[in-house]
Each structure stands twice: as structure tokens, then as C-alpha cells.
């Protein structure tokens, strides 16, 4: 009896084909063969193995000579992934080359370095996608830089903020993640060819020369030191980076979900003509893409815990990291890819309701301006505590009587003696209070131009 795929990333529900292909078993074979080829070539150049053997091995370490089926047929017998690869290569090279296949290597030299090749290709894709998000967010920050909106803390109206500043904040967060990516590449994209316990025992003093040549050939970074395996701190850092980026995308999605609440209604997610929001309520339009992003971020944030558990291995290595890494590394990469694609979709087709944004400023009948009235009274000579007490009392009066805060201020004998109607009118003009926001947006756009072009 056959079954449909269990995991949604395998069924096509999540992740793009270009990223999933990188982590497929067929691609894993391709990357492992690339490592074997580069090692043979390096050992031939250094005359560690016969040059003609090195040339032959290097030329046949590809899927034309070592197809996926051959590898898997052998593995079904040997029950060993890398040993099966070695046998497959041995089976397609001449007798004079056979002794020199996999020379001086151990399994994880191939597996870890191949994994670095996977992640190198993944980084190229995800970096460009993140840069696309940054550029879209930057354009939205610029578009809405002059649009005043409610700034909320604790879910309550607090002050005035440019709506564009929201996008500027997220832009800077993602720019920081790009910088973090640049910083972790030399550690995550590791090349290791130092043999059984990381001492280069078979190759001796030439071990580091081989590894340097292989690193150069594969555009990877030779490890400074290792046991049989690359230190798992490297991969924990990659998984953590994915979770960190995913958490920022969750932050964006969570803000959009809140802004789409019926009572706020400043944002609306794409909703196609024949889309169904609810099986029971025909009128519903739910922010399901943003909710998916938030849901996947919870999964993504669980991965670093496992990655951290993999750091402490017995002596020069054991296998307690191996099985779970086949989950946490590709799943982290693919889930993040899905989240990136999803937020791009949201940003490209969302509806921002400017009229509602402006209307919500007046929802509290002007109380959102109390910060600026406080500042104005301080400038008139009031102590902060004195002015704060007066405005707390007047704010409560506005709530109890249901009157506009501005009206309360104009009729209060203390405030009206110190602030003219013109000054109060200026305070209650929202555009007055977003100059700082606009400067933040301006500097954000300058940073985008400087760091990603």
C-alpha cells in the first residue's frame, strides 16, 4: 500500500521547489560527489596520490557515472551512506584508481562539507529574497512616511507615529539579519577533510594543504580545528539565524493581524474573488497568510533547542546529532523559505486603509495628544509632575463626560491661561508630530542604498 507524503513540505504545501531541491537526496549525492572530486583533485596536485588516478576519480565523481540508483542499491546492502558512495565510485573507476578513492577521508569529511555546499546554495537564494523584502518594505516606508497614525503600547493608543515608520523598523531588522548572515558564513560554510578524528592522520603535515585547496575549489572556509565532525556550534548558529529571521517575519505578520481586527481595520490581507474565509460565516475575511507565518515561526523557534543539544558529543564524535540534523537543518531552511515567500505575497497585495488610519487617531477623542500637551505645559514653566497630574485629571474628565479632550483643554482655566487656541490647534494636528518618524524613514532608505544597493 502506498501513502501520500506525510510532511507538508513533501506534499508541495510549503517551500519552493528551488529550495527543496537543494535538500533532496539526489542533490545530497551531487554535493557529496563534489567533495570527493575536489579532494582527489587536491591530492593529485600535491602528488599525494597518482595524478592520473586523481584526474580519473575527479572526472567520474558526478551523477553521470555515479547515478542515484547505483548509490541507493549499494546502501541497501551496506546500511552506510558514505561507504556506499565510496563503493559506487570504486565501481566506476579503473583498477589503478580504486585504491585512491576517498583517500585520507572519513565519512563526515564528506557529509559535513557536502552540507556546507547545500547551505551555500541556500544562502544565495534566501539572501536575494530577503533583499527583495527589504526593498519592498523600504518603498512602503517611503510611501507612508507622511501618513500619521496611532502608535500603540500595551494595545492602547499612546502617541502619534508615521505609518511608514512601521515599515522602516522592519526594514532595519532585516538589514541586520543580512549582516548576521555575512558574519556567520565563514563558520557555517565549513570545509573539513581532516580524517577520522580531525588530526589529518593519514595525510600528516599535508592535511591542511589538502583542506585549503578543497576549500578554495568549493568556495568554502577550511575549519581552524575539528574532531571527526565540524563543531556543531556552526549548525546551531545557522538554525538560530533561521529562527531569528522567522521571528522578525512573525513580528510583521502579528502587527498586520492586529491591524486587520474589525475594530481597527487599517490593514487587509489579499482576498481573491472566489476565496472562502469561513465555512460558517460567508462574510469573513481572515488574515490566513499572516497566521500561517506566525504558526510556522513557532515551529522554527523550536529547532535551535535541538541544535544546541547536538553540540556536546562524546569524545571526538558520536552519532546522536546525525538523525535529528536530517530534520532540523532542511526544515529550518525550507520553513523560512515558505515564510519569506508568504510575507512577500502579503506585502505585494495587501490593502492599507489610509482613511481608517486617520480616523483611528481621533478614536480616543484627542487623548492620544496628551503627551504633546504635557510637553507644551513643561515649556511654559510647569514641573513635569504638576503638569502630569493636571492632564491626568482632565483626561479622566474627557472620558467620563464623553467630550473631546481638546474641548476640555480649551475650557480649563489653568491650561487655557498658558496655551492659546492656536497652540492647542497645532498640538492637535497629527502631521506636527511625525517629523522624527520621517527622518527615521529617510535614514532607513539611505541604509538600504548603502548596504544592498
Are residues 75 and 131 located together in one domain of the fold? no
Are residues 58 and 176 located together in one domain of the fold? no
CATH of the domain at 119: 1.20.200.10
Are residues 111 and 127 located together in one domain of the fold? yes
Are residues 95 and 159 located together in one domain of the fold? no
Distance CA 244, CA 249 (A): 9
Distance CA 318, CA 110 (A): 16
For the entire predicted model, the pTM comes to 0.94
Return the half-sphere exposure (C-beta side, CA atoms, 13 A cut-off) of residue 188. 22
Distance CA 147, CA 164 (A): 7
Task: Output the CA angle 40-42-45, nearest 5 degrees.
Answer: 110
Are residues 248 and 119 located together in one domain of the fold? yes
Please, what are the averages of pLDDT over each run of 10 residues along the chain (453 residues)?
80 92 96 98 97 97 97 96 97 97 97 98 98 98 98 96 98 98 98 96 94 98 96 97 98 97 93 59 77 97 97 95 96 98 95 97 96 95 95 95 95 93 96 97 98 90
- For residue 10, the model assigns a pLDDT of 85
Distance CA 438, CA 430 (A): 13
- For residue 5, the model assigns a pLDDT of 83
- For residue 7, the model assigns a pLDDT of 84
What 3-state class would DSSP assign to 69?
Answer: helix
Strands 267-268 and 351-352: antiparallel
User: Which residue segment(s) compose the domain that 316 sits in?
Assistant: 107-359
- For residue 60, the model assigns a pLDDT of 98
Distance CA 321, CA 327 (A): 11
In a domain, 398, yes or no: yes
DSSP of 23-80, one letter per residue?
A: TSHHHHHHHHHHHHHHHHHHHHHTTSS-HHHHHHHHHH-STTTS-HHHHHHHHHHH--
Cell of 133: 523584502
In a domain, 450, yes or no: no
Q: What Cα–Cα distance (Å) separates residue 353 from each residue in 149, 184, 260, 269?
A: 11, 40, 10, 11
Specify the residue for cell string 593519514.
202
What 3-state class would DSSP assign to 225?
Answer: coil
Catalytic residues: 154, 278
- For residue 270, the model assigns a pLDDT of 83
In a domain, 443, yes or no: no
Are residues 87 and 205 located together in one domain of the fold? no
Are residues 92 and 114 located together in one domain of the fold? no
In a domain, 446, yes or no: no
- For residue 366, the model assigns a pLDDT of 96
Cell of 301: 523557534
Please count the other Cβ atoms lying within 10 Å of the Cβ belonging to residue 113: 30
User: Please, what's the largest Cα pairwise distance for the chain?
Assistant: 103
In a domain, 7, yes or no: no
Q: What Cα–Cα distance (Å) separates residue 380 from each residue in 33, 178, 430?
A: 77, 47, 21
Are residues 339 and 371 located together in one domain of the fold? no
Domain boundary among 42, 69, 100: 100
Residues 154/47, Cβ–Cβ less than 8 Å: no
- For residue 12, the model assigns a pLDDT of 85
- For residue 196, the model assigns a pLDDT of 95
In a domain, 61, yes or no: yes
Specify the residue for cell string 525550507.
334
In a domain, 12, yes or no: no
In a domain, 229, yes or no: yes
Cell of 369: 495628544
* Nearest CA-CA partner of 360 in 139, 167, 147: 147
CATH of the domain at 415: 1.10.40.30
Q: What is the CA radius of gyration of the chain?
A: 30
Task: Give the DSSP letter of residue 412.
Answer: -
Cell of 439: 527622518
Domain boundary among 333, 359, 385: 359
Are residues 60 and 82 located together in one domain of the fold? yes
Domain boundary among 359, 386, 410: 359
Are residues 83 and 151 located together in one domain of the fold? no
CATH of the domain at 21: 1.10.275.10
Are residues 80 and 135 located together in one domain of the fold? no
Strands of 163-314, DSSP E: 190-191, 221-222, 267-268
Are residues 211 and 133 located together in one domain of the fold? yes
Domains identified in the chain, total number = 3
Amino acid at each position: 500500500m502506498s501513502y501520500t507524503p506525510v510532511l507538508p513540505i513533501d506534499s508541495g504545501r510549503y517551500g519552493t521547489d528551488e529550495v527543496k531541491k537543494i535538500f533532496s537526496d539526489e542533490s545530497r549525492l551531487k554535493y557529496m560527489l563534489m567533495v570527493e572530486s575536489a579532494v582527489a583533485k587536491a591530492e593529485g596536485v600535491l602528488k599525494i596520490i597518482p595524478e592520473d588516478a586523481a584526474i580519473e576519480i575527479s572526472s567520474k565523481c558526478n551523477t553521470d557515472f555515479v547515478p542515484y540508483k547505483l548509490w541507493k542499491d549499494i546502501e541497501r546492502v551496506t546500511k552506510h551512506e558514505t561507504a556506499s558512495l565510496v563503493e559506487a565510485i570504486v565501481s566506476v573507476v579503473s583498477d589503478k584508481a580504486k585504491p585512491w578513492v576517498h583517500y585520507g577521508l572519513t565519512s563526515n569529511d564528506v557529509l559535513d562539507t557536502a552540507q556546507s555546499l547545500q547551505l551555500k546554495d541556500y544562502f544565495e537564494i534566501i539572501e536575494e529574497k530577503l533583499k527583495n523584502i527589504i526593498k519592498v518594505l523600504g518603498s512602503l516606508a517611503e510611501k507612508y512616511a507622511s501618513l500619521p497614525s496611532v502608535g500603540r503600547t500595551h494595545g492602547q493608543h499612546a502617541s502619534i507615529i508615521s505609518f511608514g515608520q512601521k515599515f522602516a523598523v522592519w526594514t532595519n531588522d532585516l538589514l541586520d539579519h543580512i549582516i548576521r548572515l555575512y558574519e556567520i558564513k565563514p563558520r557555517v560554510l565549513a570545509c573539513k577533510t581532516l580524517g577520522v578524528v580531525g588530526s589529518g592522520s593519514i595525510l600528516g603535515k599535508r592535511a591542511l594543504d589538502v583542506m585549503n585547496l578543497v576549500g578554495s575549489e568549493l568556495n568554502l572556509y577550511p575549519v581552524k580545528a575539528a574532531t571527526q565532525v565540524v563543531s556543531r556550534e556552526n549548525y546551531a548558529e545557522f538554525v538560530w539565524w533561521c529562527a531569528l529571521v522567522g521571528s522578525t517575519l512573525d513580528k510583521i505578520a502579528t502587527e498586520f493581524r492586529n491591524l486587520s481586527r474589525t475594530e481597527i481595520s487599517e490593514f487587509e490581507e489579499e482576498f481573491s474573488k472566489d476565496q472562502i474565509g469561513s465555512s460558517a460565516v460567508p462574510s469573513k475575511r481572515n488574515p490566513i497568510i499572516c497566521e500561517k507565518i506566525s504558526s510556522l515561526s513557532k515551529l522554527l523557534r523550536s529547532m535551535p533547542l535541538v541544535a544546541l543539544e547536538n553540540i556536546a558529543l562524546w569524545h571526538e564524535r558520536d552519532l546522536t546529532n546525525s538523525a535529528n540534523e536530517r530534520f532540523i537543518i532542511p526544515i529550518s531552511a525550507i520553513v523560512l523559505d515558505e515564510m519569506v515567500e508568504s510575507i512577500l505575497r502579503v506585502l505585494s497585495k495587501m490593502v492599507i486603509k489610509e482613511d481608517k488610519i486617520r480616523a483611528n487617531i481621533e478614536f480616543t477623542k484627542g487623548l492620544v495628544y496628551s503627551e504633546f500637551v504635557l510637553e507644551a505645559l513643561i515649556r511654559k514653566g510647569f514641573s513635569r509632575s504638576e503638569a502630569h497630574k493636571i492632564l491626568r485629571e482632565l483626561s479622566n474628565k474627557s472620558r467620563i463626560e464623553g467630550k473631546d479632550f481638546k474641548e476640555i483643554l480649551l475650557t480649563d482655566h489653568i491650561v487655557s491661561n498658558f496655551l492659546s487656541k492656536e497652540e492647542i490647534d497645532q498640538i492637535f494636528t497629527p502631521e506636527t508630530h511625525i517629523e522624527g518618524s520621517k527622518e527615521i524613514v529617510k535614514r532607513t532608505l539611505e541604509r538600504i542604498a548603502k548596504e544592498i544597493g
